[in-house]
Amino acid sequence: MEKSSITVQRHILEQERKHQQATGDLTGLLWDLTLAAKVVSREVNRAGLADIFGATGEENESGDLVKRLDSIAQDTIYRAMDHGGHLCLMVSEESPDLIPIPAKYPKGKYLLLYDPLDGSSNIEANVSIGTIFSVHRRITGSGDGTLEDCLRKGSEQVAAGYFLYGSSTMIVYTTGQGVYGFTLDPSIGEFMLSHDRIVTPPQGKYYSINEGNAAGWDEPTRNYVQHLKQKDKATGRPYSLRYIGSLVADIHRTLVYGGIFLYPSDTSDPANPKPKLRLLYEVAPMSFLMEQAGGAAITGTQRVLDVQATSLHHKVPIVLGSKQDVATYERFCTESGTVPAGKKK
């Protein structure tokens, strides 16, 4: 069958069929999620016309101003996912606590952790934004899911991915058998296979970091970024800076072109390093994708997928991308002899 005629639904189904014990539940869950993302994509596309830009006036758990589109995305995803019988609970960036499945609906064996609209500081400027998701199998037996089901390691994810609302709308996902990308064909309303088995180049030519935070970087990060600005031996050129400030867009570029993305802790107070990005629904799913595409993802001191979450909105530093680029960063950490960001003394 031609690549251009493979829908994401068919792809998910065929991936699940490779598992003998598959019940179709994961397929059903991901189908519901793609429907929700089509609705979010429509709202994002018509936001300027429909006057739904702007803030709600509320703050989320991390103290970010909640934009109206954040809240539309949150409601849309919740409503698409609450009744399918696949989930036992949800966790969202926009909710401080666990989101239970309503009592009237059956409970399933999975939990969904998501960032409904990531990069929302970019909304009014028509810059790419996205939805990030992570799926875990529950570890408690039945009924409502619990906090114990959520506080997990990224290595236990059964699926992860993102929807990118950019010049086109895409889904990029993994169930642990490689990374695949599909582009929404608006004329038929289907996500069609466009990026068959994404493999990140072993070394890239872009680095991506918020340079405005340089005063708070630890020594290895400062030295590493300085190193990238020198001529590379292989290319004879320094690395180029690319930073959008939308995690989904920055990671999508890194997956496809290679290179490195860093969001280190703010170490202005060395005794109290402050990471920004959230483990369960931002950093862990992106790290799962990056490893599945042949890249690497570390906190500076350990593999991201080995980090045990200790709270719903647990934050960690992140360095991810092409394998060789991440290895070079690691070398700077080792050579600096300092304790890198995020490492407890």
Active site residues: 64, 70, 93-94, 115, 117-118, 282
80 CB-near residues (< 8 Å, 6+ apart): 32, 33, 35, 36, 39
Greatest CA separation for the chain: 63
Pairwise CA distance, residues 105 & 107, whole Å:
7
Q: How far is the CB of 70 from ligand AHM (least distance, A)?
A: 8
> In the chain, how many H helices and how many E strands?
9, 15
Residue 323 contact, options Mg ion, ligand AHM, none, Cβ 5-8 Å cut-off depending on partner type: none
Say whether residue 156 binds ligand AHM (CB under 6 A): no
**Segment near ligand AHM (CB under 6 A); pick from 102-110, 195-203, 246-254, 297-305:** 246-254
Q: Which of 16, 115, 291, 325 binds ligand AHM (CB under 6 A)?
A: 115
Which partner, Mg ion, ligand AHM, none, binds residue 64 by CB below 5 to 8 Å per kind? ligand AHM
Find out whether 322 and 259 touch, Cβ atoms under 8 Å.
yes
Q: H or E stretch including 255? A: helix 247-257
Single residue of 16, 32, 118, 291 touching ligand AHM by CB under 6 A: 118
**How many chain residues touch Mg ion (CB under 5 A)?**
2
| Distance in angstroms (rounded) separating the CA atoms of residues 263 and 208 | 9
CA distances from 183 to 4, 18, 305 (A): 10, 24, 27
Residue of 115, 190, 218, 266 that binds Mg ion (CB under 5 A): 115
Give bridge partners of residue 240 from the DSSP assignment.
Answer: 206
70 part of the interface to Mg ion, by CB under 5 A: no
Cβ proximity to ligand AHM: between 101 and 279 the closer is 279
Residue placing its CB nearer to ligand AHM in the complex, 122 or 328: 122
Cα–Cα distance measured from residue 224 to residue 244, given in angstroms and rounded to the nearest whole number: 20
Distance CA 44, CA 131 (A): 11
Nearer to Mg ion, 135 or 333 (CB): 135
Min dist CB 127 to ligand AHM, Å, is: 10
Separation of alpha carbons 268 and 272, rounded Å: 8
Position among 64, 75, 144, 156 found at the interface with ligand AHM (CB under 6 A)? 64
Count of residues interacting with ligand AHM (CB under 6 A): 13
Which one of ligand AHM, Mg ion, none interacts with residue 246, CB within 5 to 8 A by kind? ligand AHM
Asked if residue 33 lies in contact with residue 39, where contact means CB atoms within 8 angstroms, the answer is: no
Residue 134, judged by CB atoms within 10 A of its CB (0-12, 13-18, 19+), counts as: buried
Amino acid symbol at 124: E
Closer residue to ligand AHM, CB minimum distance, 149 or 250: 250
List the x/- string, 10-29, binding to Mg ion by CB under 5 A: --------------------
Instruction: Tally Cβ neighbours within 10 Å of residue 199.
Output: 14
Binding partner at 275 among Mg ion, ligand AHM, none, C-beta below 5 to 8 Å by kind = none
Supply the minimum distance, in Å, between the C-beta of residue 189 and ligand AHM: 27
H helix or E strand, kind and range, residue 113:
strand 110-118
Q: How far apart are CA 37 and CA 250, in angstroms?
A: 19
Binder among 43, 70, 94, 118 for Mg ion (CB under 5 A): 118
Contacting range for Mg ion; rule: CB under 5 A; set: 61-69, 108-116, 160-168, 216-224: 108-116
Instruction: Figure out which of the listed residues 4, 5, 23, 210 binds ligand AHM, where binding follows CB under 6 A.
Output: 210
Write out the residues near Mg ion by the rule CB under 5 A.
Answer: 115, 118
Write out the residues near ligand AHM by the rule CB under 6 A.
Answer: 64, 93, 115, 118-121, 210, 245-247, 250, 276
